[in-house]
Amino acid sequence: MVLRVFPRPEAGCLYLILLFVATLFFLPKADAQVLPLEQNNALTAEWLVYDADAQELVPYVAAVHSEKHALHQWVTVVPSQPFRIGFVAQQNLCVFLNNQLIFKADSSAAYRLNISEHTAAIKPVDGKMLLTVWHPAQQPNVKGFYNDVQSVGQENESVRRPLPLRIREYVNQNAFIIILLLIGLMYGWLRINYPAEFQSLFDIRSSGRNSKLDEGMLAKPISSWSSILFILAFSLSMALLIAAIHTNVQHIRLFNRLLPVSEANITTKVGIYTLGIFLFVLMKYLFLKFMAFIFGLEEVVVLQYREFIKTLLFLGVFLPFVMLLYLSMNAFIPEIILLVSNILVSLLLLLTVLRVFAAVNKKATVLNLHLFSYLCATEVIPLAVVLKLIVFSF
């Protein structure tokens, strides 16, 4: 008897419904930040930008002022009381108070700042001070600034706590939920429009042996629209999970140096990861052709890449459920869920490499030093690099 992941035609819709119900059921409620009624020593959402034509500060509109590198806000500071703020800053981000530098980020990290400690030599204007956030290369992410409000009990607890806690960025989970539902729609659409490929690809028994996929969709893995769309769905699923694991894009140092991304823009972050994964999967075929030419093993390229694609796509269908686990439990046991998510991602990549080794071994023994060196160069070393970027960068 053949076991299938989705045996019925309506399984695509059922898949989406299960994702939606599980998301609503498991996701925790976001804790609202309670601010004092009096807005002394507190940030607001009323940011301003300087209009050169009008020569005055005007309200900041993200869609209009996307090129501005300096954002301002009038704040009322009572020096006798703490004015604590928290934020995630890119390297070289500067904070000014009445045009006097009070903070500069020496690296990309999470920071806390007590503005009251820097007001001794600064005179207010009409009882207020102008807080300015500026970055030389990009627009600061002011949505990441928040009032670091602590109750007396919390302050006492922080004094008694023997070990420091790692501060993690709060992520707007609505973006994750919407993208998760989009992934469900994509798999449902693929199930309806490519039923034969979908059934063969996610057939549990066919995942352990050659199937009719080898003569169909995967005969030339990147030459058919169906294979491209399946790879795109996998890339989006993988990117969403990576974005959830790395709640701060600064933790991925390579991406941060090449292309800085706004912390609050989750959609942009997932889009960049999706594009990177998609290109990585497609470009690996050219990489294999190049390495096989050097090693003189061109005959194993199609088999190797076919098994790579087939295993990735089969295991990738379970990534949305890992994402649900992360979103539902991360607020309660973040360290454990982070560890579990990283382990599952590592297993996906490791199992893919092992399946490639097993498939190639059926054609020629991998105990051959020449073939083993080729597989290490094309599978093991890229695996180590990917694990470093995805798993061990946090």
User: pLDDT digit string (tens) for 352-381?
Assistant: 899 888 888 887 777 788 888 888 999 989
Give tens-digit pLDDT for 66-78: 889 999 999 988 8
pLDDT for 149 equals 73
* Segments making up each domain of the chain, as ranges: 11-27+171-390, 48-160
CATH topology of domain 48-160: Jelly Rolls (2.60.120)
Give me the helices (H) in the chain, please.
11-26, 152-160, 173-193, 195-201, 225-245, 253-258, 266-295, 301-316, 319-329, 334-363, 369-375, 381-390
Instruction: Categorize the per-residue pLDDT at 206 as very low, low, confident or very high, splitting at 50, 70 and 90.
Output: low
pLDDT band at 236, cuts 50/70/90?
very high
C-alpha dihedral (48, 249, 19, 238), degrees to nearest 10 = 140
Banded pLDDT at 392 (limits 50, 70, 90): low
Mean pLDDT is lowest, of 217-231, 274-288, 292-306, for 217-231
Q: pLDDT grade, residue 17 (50/70/90)?
A: low
- pLDDT tens-place string over residues 255-273: 444 444 444 567 888 888 8
**What's the confidence (pLDDT) of residue 219?**
56
Give the other-Cβ count within 10 Å of 265's Cβ: 17
Q: What is the pLDDT of residues 146-188, one digit of tens each?
A: 888 764 444 444 444 444 434 444 445 677 888 889 999 999 9
pLDDT for 306-325, tens place per residue? Answer: 888 888 888 888 888 888 88
Q: How far apart are CA 198 and CA 129, in angstroms?
A: 61
Instruction: For the chain, report the end-to-end CA distance as a whole number of angstroms.
Output: 44
| Angstrom distance (rounded) from CA 111 to CA 333 | 23
pTM: 0.54
